[in-house]
Amino acid sequence: MVSDESLDDIATYATGVGPWKNMLAAPAANGSVVSTGLVARLHARGLSVHLYTLRPEARYIFPQFNNQTTFNE
C-alpha cells in the first residue's frame, strides 16, 4: 500500500490517511529514529497525514524513547 502507484491511487479518492506510526519512522542502526519518507511522499500527493493511537505503554514506544526496561503484558 505504500508504493508510488498505490499512493497515487489513494490520492484519487482520499484527502488524508492514518498510517501506523511504524510506517512513518523506524529505528536506525546507530540507535536513532529516522523518517521512512512516507510523510513527504503523502504530502507530495496533497494528502494529509493523521496519526492514531500514540500510546505511552512501553511496548508501543521506540526503545530509544523508553526509560522503562521491562513491562507487564
More confident residue, 2 or 9: 9
Dump pLDDT digits (tens) for 5-61.
999 999 999 999 999 888 888 888 887 888 999 999 999 999 999 977 666 677 777
Q: How many angstroms separate the CA atoms of 53 and 34, rounded?
A: 20
Q: Is the dihedral of CA 31, 32, 36, 38 positive or negative?
A: positive
The burial class, CB within 10 Å (0-12 / 13-18 / 19+), for 32 is exposed
Q: ∠ at Cα 32 (28, 36), nearest 5°?
A: 55
**CA 29/CA 7 separation, integer angstroms:** 28
What are the boundaries of each domain within the chain?
Answer: 4-65
